[in-house]
Amino acid sequence: MGHGQRLAQPSSAFQGDRGEADPAVRSAIASASDQLGYLRAVAALCSSRLLMPIVASGDDSMDGPDPGRQAEMAAVSVTNASGERALLAFTGIDALTAWRPDARPVPCTLDDLAATVTEAGASHLLLDGAGPVQFVVGPDLLQELAQGRRLVEIEPGEFGWMFVDAQAVDPQADGA
C-alpha cells in the first residue's frame, strides 16, 4: 500500500483515515528524552490512531509457495537481545511501509494495542521500529492502557489516568 492510500477500515471510528501520522504525536515521541517527555508522548499516543501491521505467515515452504497451505494473517512481534518481546505498531503508513511495504495496516487505538500485547505473548509495545524515531511503551503503562484508561496531563508535569465509565455512557452496556 502506498503512502496516502486508504486503509482497510475495521470500524467507522477511522472513517476517511488515509494513514498519515499525527505530527504532534511524532514531535512528542521525538522529544521524549526524559521521564516527563516520555509521559507526554504516551499521553499524546492515547488520543491518536496507530497502525498495527498484519503480515501473512505460513504460506511458504523452503521450496517456495505451497498450494496446499494457506497463509494466516498475524500481528508482528520482535524480540530484543534481552529476550523481551514487543508487539510492533506504527504512527503512520510511511513508517509502516518503510519497515515492510507488504504489511497490511490495521488502524487501532493505543488501548486496543495494549490489550493485544499480552495476547501476542509480548510485554512491550514498539512503535515505529524502522523510524523515524523508535518508541517503547513498557509493561506498567500497558497494563493500565489495556483496561481502557488513558494517560492525561492534568497540570504541567502532573499526570493521571482517565477512563470512560461504559455504564454512564450506555446503561445497557452490562448486558442487562
Nearest to 89 by CA among 42, 129, 120: 129
pLDDT score at 4:
38
- Whether 138 maps to a domain, the answer reads yes
> How confident is the model over 29-40, as a mean pLDDT?
96
Within a domain: 75 = yes
Q: Is residue 105 part of a domain?
A: yes
Which of 79, 124, 85, 78 lies closest to 99, judged by CA?
Answer: 78
Residue 30 within any structural domain of the chain:
yes
Report pLDDT for 6: 39
Kindly tell me the burial class for residue 82, based on how many C-beta atoms sit within 10 Å of its own C-beta (0-12, 13-18, 19 or more): exposed
Domain assignment of residue 81, yes or no: yes
Q: Is residue 147 a part of any domain in this protein?
A: yes
C-alpha cell at 5: 492510500
Sign of CA dihedral 116, 118, 121, 122: positive
Higher pLDDT, 105 or 171: 105
Residue 47 exposed, middle or buried by CB count within 10 Å (0-12, 13-18, 19+): middle
Residues 49-69: tens digit of each pLDDT? 999 999 887 544 444 455 555
| pLDDT value of position 167 | 60
**Domain containing 83: what range?**
12-57+71-169
Cβ-contact 127, 25 below 8 angstroms? no
How many domains, the chain? 1
- pLDDT tens per residue across span 69-111: 555 667 888 888 899 999 999 999 999 999 999 999 999 999 9
Return d(Cα 117, Cα 53) in angstroms, integer: 13
- Residue bearing the bigger pLDDT, 7 or 30: 30
pLDDT the model gives residue 60: 45
Q: In the prediction, which pLDDT does 76 show?
A: 86
* Higher-scoring residue by pLDDT: 176, 7: 176
Is 153 among the domain residues? yes
- Enter the pTM of the model: 0.78
pLDDT for residue 17: 76
Per-residue pLDDT of 101-159, as tens digits, reads 999 999 999 999 999 998 888 999 999 999 999 999 999 999 999 998 999 999 999 99
Is residue 43 assigned to a domain?
Answer: yes
